[in-house]
Amino acid sequence: MGTPVASAYAELGLFIGGEMVSGGGRKSSPVINPANEEVIGQLPHATTADLDRALAVAQEGFRVWRAIFPDQRGKILKRAADLLRARAEEIARTATIESGKSIHETRIELGMSAAILEWYAEEGRRAYGRVLPQRAAGTRLCVVKEPVGPVAAFAPWNFPLGNPARKIGAALGAGCSCILKPAEETPASGLAVARALAEAGLPAGVLSIVFGVPQEVSSHLIASPAIRAISFTGSIPVGKQLMKLAAEGMKRTTMELGGHGPVLVFGDVDVESVLDQSVTAKYRNGGQVCVSPTRFYVHESIYPRFVEGFAARAKGWPVGDGLDEKNKMGPLIHARRVAVIEGFVQDAVACGGRVVAGGKRLRSPGYFFAPTVLADVPNTARIMNEEPFGPVAILNPFSNFDSVIEQANRLPYGLAAFAFTGSARIAKLAGEKLEAGMVGVNTYAISVPESPFGGVKESGHGSEEGIEGLEACLVTKFISEA
């Protein structure tokens, strides 16, 4: 904890029953700044007794919170959003220090997180039921929406503020309590969201934050009869494991899993403009984004120019410590990811692909990998089939619409897909034919608080944000009165 950066890092602990808990002989793990590999904090892990306490207070918190009327609940969520904004710079720095992503990105993410809390603050007031037409005199047939109950949520490190805000916002907006396990890599960001809510007046116990060995925490929480819904963002294999656990208790799940975003670039576009947008989207958070554009299918008429333009931009992309304003890309989250990306690149080359930019580790200390562009990569390469989750763009040419749609849809993923075209007809067809939960046509902007965010096929089910995000935390009850 010696450096000026590290000493500015937040206090870490578990947050249970409205109190920060740490020490007491609990096991702990170091939190590392991925830009320089310095230890910036020690994160206490929840004991079984801590988890049981979080479960107990979540049950009591649910009883208290659901009894508060939605407009009052909304006021607390809105106050928390204001507090986040008032502390924007401090929290954005914290998020950058622990996640590595650029300060420009964490500032935007902070604003988005506040907006998400506000969305749920408002949407909670619209958990409408309905009254059905009678079938007999003197009867009343009502459909009402009720909060599902305590939610166990698991958020990854790639959006250290946004992922917690989405999960907490949905649960609290619907009147549920929530136990959140943010990623152990980025604990202080999730705690900052919880702190803002607590200071905004959230009753103790409505929200708890726990950390530990992910598999141990999730299996304990999901097995508890107190938990009625699970929300997970992360990899497909972990999502499948958690669904099996949830099935034991017939608990509903929201699964926001991996993607392998195809991008169709047709021959009639403004190539330079699409390149500028694509490079920015690809290297956002070092490509560690579930909706990252990954497989670029570029019409053969503009393919050579596109490859050259992408490579030139990637080579000049400023990479370094995310706290330095001049950098647009920081390090990857941990050493493991650097090794994974390196393996993907080597395999792609062995399969006949070409590295046209990057392809190698950058300076150390720090988990840096160069913005990379691969061209002409066959479908036999691992990276054409497995989510890279790193700063690698894969470019391949195509010649006709039907075959490129077939390529785009050939994987079991279905999260985000993109198409760039000047033709209204192709835009409409691409929107229809791409198998994805979210399709960007002539844009990479596919997420606002009002829009549902989620995937199809193995990319998961259920949505966060939008009216669907609230619905995930509500159950439907039919009341028939005679």
Task: Kindly list the catalytic residues.
Answer: 256, 290
Does position 222 interact with ligand NAD (CB under 6 A)? The reply is no
**Min. distance of Cβ 291 from ligand NAD in angstroms?**
8
Structure tokens at 76: 């607390």
* Residue choice 321, 387, 464, 465 for contact with ligand NAD (CB under 6 A): 387
Q: How far is CA 114 from CA 9, 77, 164, in A?
A: 21, 9, 11
* Residue choice 33, 218, 231, 278 for contact with ligand NAD (CB under 6 A): 218
Buried b (16+ CB within 10 A) or exposed e, 362-396: beeebbbbbbbbbbbbeeebebbebbbbbbbbbbb
- DSSP E strand boundaries for 317-379: 354-357, 372-375
| Residue 183 or 393 with smaller CB distance to ligand NAD | 183
CA distance 256 to 161: 16
**Min. distance of Cβ 82 from ligand NAD in angstroms?**
27
**Min. distance of Cβ 421 from ligand NAD in angstroms?**
27
**Min. distance of Cβ 85 from ligand NAD in angstroms?**
24
Does position 292 interact with ligand NAD (CB under 6 A)? The reply is no
Does position 471 interact with ligand NAD (CB under 6 A)? The reply is no
CA distance 471 to 438: 18
**Min. distance of Cβ 449 from ligand NAD in angstroms?**
17
**Min. distance of Cβ 264 from ligand NAD in angstroms?**
22
CA distance 29 to 393: 33
Residue pair 350/383 in contact (Cβ under 8 Å)? The answer is: no
Report the amino acid identity of residue 363: R
Report the SS3 class of residue 95: helix
Does position 215 interact with ligand NAD (CB under 6 A)? The reply is yes
| Residue 265 or 333 with smaller CB distance to ligand NAD | 333
Binding window for ligand NAD (CB under 6 A); candidates: 27-35, 93-101, 150-158, 246-254? 150-158
Strand partners, 21: 14
| Residue 294 or 421 with smaller CB distance to ligand NAD | 294
Does position 157 interact with ligand NAD (CB under 6 A)? The reply is yes
**Residues with Cβ within 8 Å of residue 71, at least 6 apart in sequence:** 125
- Pairing relationship of beta strands 438-441 and 416-420 according to DSSP bridges: parallel
Does position 389 interact with ligand NAD (CB under 6 A)? The reply is yes
* Residue choice 105, 256, 435, 471 for contact with ligand NAD (CB under 6 A): 256
Does position 285 interact with ligand NAD (CB under 6 A)? The reply is no
Does position 258 interact with ligand NAD (CB under 6 A)? The reply is yes
**Residues with Cβ within 8 Å of residue 303, at least 6 apart in sequence:** 395, 397
For residue 25, the tally of other CB atoms under 10 A from its CB is 7
In eight-state DSSP terms, residue 373 is E
| Residue 65 or 157 with smaller CB distance to ligand NAD | 157
Does position 286 interact with ligand NAD (CB under 6 A)? The reply is no
Does position 156 interact with ligand NAD (CB under 6 A)? The reply is yes
Site string for ligand NAD, 300-339 (x = CB under 6 A): ------------------------------------xx--
For residue 59, the tally of other CB atoms under 10 A from its CB is 16
Within 64-123, the residues that bind ligand NAD by CB under 6 A are none
| Residue bearing tokens 């929290």 | 91
| Residue bearing tokens 């749920």 | 120
Binding window for ligand NAD (CB under 6 A); candidates: 41-49, 253-261, 360-368, 466-474? 253-261
Q: What is the DSSP string of 139-203?
A: -EEEEEEEE---EEEE--SSSTTHHHHHHHHHHHHHT--EEEE--TTSHHHHHHHHHHHHHTTPP
| Binding footprint of ligand NAD, residue count (CB under 6 A) | 22
Does position 235 interact with ligand NAD (CB under 6 A)? The reply is yes
Q: At what angle do helices 214-223 and 48-66 cross, to 10 degrees?
A: 50
H helical segments located in 67-102: 70-86, 88-99
| Residue 214 or 267 with smaller CB distance to ligand NAD | 214
Which element (helix H / strand E) includes 401? helix 401-408
Does position 183 interact with ligand NAD (CB under 6 A)? The reply is yes
**Min. distance of Cβ 376 from ligand NAD in angstroms?**
24
Q: Which of 350, 345, 283 is nearest to 310 (CA)?
A: 283
Binding window for ligand NAD (CB under 6 A); candidates: 1-9, 87-95, 200-208, 228-236? 228-236
* Residue choice 46, 230, 257, 394 for contact with ligand NAD (CB under 6 A): 257
Structure tokens at 462: 């259920």
**Min. distance of Cβ 333 from ligand NAD in angstroms?**
7
**Residues that bind ligand NAD in the complex, under the rule CB under 6 A:** 154, 156-158, 183, 214-215, 218, 233-235, 238, 241-242, 256-258, 290, 336-337, 387, 389
